[in-house]
Structure 1
């Protein structure tokens, strides 16, 4: 029997665009009250407006997950408002067009890792406090094909961060699954999001049209969220049919 998401509370990082925005819309349509966060208020407000226009419930919180304190403050705010936090979806992602050891500085690599891996750790640590008290909860991390299959176009920093995300989620399940908390990584292949604009050579429109859409990942998140508590999905890999690398 599917879980009913009515009145569930969800927090989505990176909720101002791409996969995070699609997840927020999808969970809100399923009945959850969603909190979207990111570093800039304007795109978050746009996501909230879209959700409310469709009859859903949403709130925006400005959060830089790369820093440890803002995620804890966000969880505190959510708990003060609702006294529960059922679902966390980590969709905050960052990369730049200088991606190789030959042109990527240590400071730039550190910023990429701080958002894609450090941010996931900071947010996960914060939500676990609430979920452990409740004895229930779901964490879903948006990973990348690059974390499973190393390719040069993603760059060493982004690849290392996404590979680390898989190990972090596995560690979470080893530690907290018996407490009723589940962790899943969604591993998309080529997906048409704003991150593609930061590739050294962005793909042309006709190629982007054949890639995954953010809503494809959002539907996978919804499926996992609706599963009964006895079911743990460790990883889901989703690729466009044209992907062969």
Structure 2
């Protein structure tokens, strides 16, 4: 597989517009980079109106610029998912601006500083919990409130193989939040499927995104590291996670509820 071609945002065949999500409004938190940006571009390429949300305006604006350059429809909203009032405003703005909210990808997250459990301070622990777990809960809470009144929808949460599938030495706070996201996803899925809301999660392994780079590591060094440790023989691509998210959001997965989809090249086998 030509990894460079797939990860390059210029391939023509990769950016042809299709209609699978026409007339759907999609919210992507953490939409300014990495998997969030790739997923926002993928939804827009398939006809959705996409709202990219995050804490920094500049990367969100770049995501929207990329969407529009390819003939898609997108907008950006600055919001902090750890703040309930921000999330309320975010959902209300999406609905007011675009007429509804049909799909949400709760992707915003942080890895945290590599430390053993005994060395993590309370401030670091609280920050990781706030963004990765409380942020997903708040996002779901207010997305569900709208969707349950308006015919349902689809929600996909960002978990990780380092939650319930594999240990994560030096990243205990991150692992704890991702395990909790998987559990929260299953519980919410069972609670709200009767309202027509399908809730699932994705659990990526090593992905070609900023979060997977070690301090001081080059992209070439990262690629070599994963070539040796991933059974498939390469690092995964953000576009491959995006494809899984789109599938879980689509009618093609209509019988999938409360699932945590592992995307890891065989790491957890």
TM over 0.5: yes
Residue 134 of structure 1 aligns with which residue?
150
Residue 74 of structure 1 aligns with which residue?
90
Unmatched runs of 5 consecutive residues or more in structure 2: 1-18, 228-233
Residue 84 of structure 1 aligns with which residue?
100
Compare 213-222 and 74-83 and name the one that shifted more: 74-83
Q: Does 1:61 align with 2:61?
A: no
CA distance in 1 between counterparts of 2:260 and 2:226 reads: 25
CA distance in 2 between counterparts of 1:185 and 1:244 reads: 16
Q: TM-score, normalised by structure 1?
A: 0.92
SS of alignment partner, residue 184 of structure 1: strand
CA distance in 2 between counterparts of 1:101 and 1:201 reads: 24
Residue in structure 2 matching 1:223, options 226, 247, 252: 247
Q: Is the 8 Å Cα contact of residues 95 and 198 (structure 1) preserved in structure 2? A: no
SS of alignment partner, residue 153 of structure 1: coil
Aligned pairs (5 A) from 1:150-189: 150-153=166-169, 155-189=171-205
Q: Deviations over 1:51-73 (max 9, x none)?
A: 10000000000111111111110
Residue in structure 2 matching 1:207, options 225, 232, 244: 225
Q: 1:186 to 1:152 in 2, by over 3 A?
A: closer
Q: Is the 8 Å Cα contact of residues 97 and 198 (structure 1) preserved in structure 2? A: no
What is the Cα deviation at residue 208 of structure 1? 5.0
Q: TM-score, normalised by structure 2?
A: 0.84
Residue 235 of structure 1 aligns with which residue?
260
SS of alignment partner, residue 141 of structure 1: strand
SS of alignment partner, residue 77 of structure 2: strand
